[in-house]
């Protein structure tokens, strides 16, 4: 099928042209799909999971309300405990031995980001949600190395703005006890819905 596009921005045109020179059309389409999906699904999960963590831990939420400088720590801590993408697939670039497993070059390896983020050697008391955790930014929710998420800073900014606005405009926001929720999904994890209550201003 033919693909036609009109690009008004010369910079975008050169980017598309550059990609077209190096990648086949199916590769361009595949990368575009990954970027679009990643920019929607995982960011939505990031915002929802962070709000859920804060509302589940009123003491931590109170700390953030008293000092909005802790909001970034809350976001990192939520990413650590419940990344929007819990696992990623990679192919081994060389033979290696990892614990009892022998991995050959070219083998598919499924990496648990959620498991790595709960490594007690890196994160003491790893199951605790702590907005003051000093090393929370070591979390691997955005992966690492050449596959590091290229929109990580944008996702953090979107989450920060969403949470700031919610906490400012709905100060009595709380979970609805009649509709308990938990994140679901093997790879992409978030609650299917998040039921909340708040009091209307008098």
pLDDT in tens, 58-90: 999 999 999 999 999 999 999 999 998 999 899
Residue 134 has pLDDT above 90, yes or no: yes
- With beta carbons less than 8 A apart as the criterion, state whether 39 and 29 touch: no
List Cα–Cα distances, 5 to 18, 25, 31, 39, in angstroms: 15, 13, 17, 21
Q: Cα–Cα distance between 187 and 177 in angstroms, integer?
A: 27
Q: Is the pLDDT higher at 146 or at 159?
A: 159
Look at residue 195 and tell me whether its pLDDT is greater than 70: yes
- The SS3 of residue 132 is coil
Of 172, 133, 156, 136, nearest to 55 by C-alpha is: 172
CA distances from residue 176 to 48, 50, 182, 184, 194 in whole angstroms, order as listed:
15, 16, 13, 18, 9
> CA nearest 108: which of 88, 80, 132?
88
Segment among 32-36, 151-155, 180-184, 194-198 with least mean pLDDT: 32-36
Q: Where are the domains of the chain?
A: 20-85+115-197
- pTM, entire model: 0.82
Q: Between β-strands 87-91 and 108-112, what pairing exists: parallel, antiparallel or unpaired?
A: antiparallel
Torsion over CA: 109, 110, 113, 114 (sign) = negative
* Backbone φ and ψ of 114, nearest 5°: -65, -40
The pLDDT of residue 11:
47
CA 108/CA 13 separation, integer angstroms? 35
Label residues 70-92 b or e (16+ Cβ within 10 Å = b). bbbbbbbbbbbbbbbbbebeeee
d(CA 192, CA 198): 20
Confidence of residue 20 (pLDDT cuts 50, 70, 90): low
Instruction: Assign 202 a pLDDT band (cuts: 50, 70, 90).
Output: low
Find out whether 198 and 174 touch, Cβ atoms under 8 Å. yes
Percentage of the chain with pLDDT > 90? 66
Residue 17 pLDDT class (50, 70, 90 cuts): low
Q: What letter does residue 188 receive in the DSSP assignment? A: B
Contact 164, 102 (CB under 8 A): no
Q: What does CATH list as the number for 20-85+115-197?
A: 1.10.630.10
């Amino acid at each position: 099928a033919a693909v036609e596009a009109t690009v008004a921005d010369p910079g975008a045109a050169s980017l598309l042209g550059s990609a077209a020179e190096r990648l086949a059309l199916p590769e361009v389409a595949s990368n575009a799909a990954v970027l679009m999906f990643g920019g929607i699904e995982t960011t939505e999960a990031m915002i929802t999971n962070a709000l859920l963590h804060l509302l589940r831990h009123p003491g931590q939420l109170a700390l953030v309300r008293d000092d909005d400088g802790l909001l970034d720590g809350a976001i990192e801590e939520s990413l650590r405990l419940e990344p929007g993408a819990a696992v990623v697939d990679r192919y081994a670039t060389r033979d290696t031995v990892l614990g009892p497993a022998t991995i050959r070059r070219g083998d598919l390896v499924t990496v648990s980001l959620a498991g790595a983020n709960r490594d007690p050697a890196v994160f003491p008391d790893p199951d605790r949600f702590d907005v003051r955790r000093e090393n929370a930014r070591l979390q691997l929710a955005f992966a690492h190395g050449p596959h590091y998420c290229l929109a990580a800073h944008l996702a953090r900014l979107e989450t920060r703005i969403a949470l700031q606005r919610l906490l400012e405009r709905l100060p009595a926001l709380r979970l609805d006890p009649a509709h308990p929720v938990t994140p679901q999904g093997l790879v992409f994890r978030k609650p299917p819905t998040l039921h909340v209550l708040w009091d209307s201003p008098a």
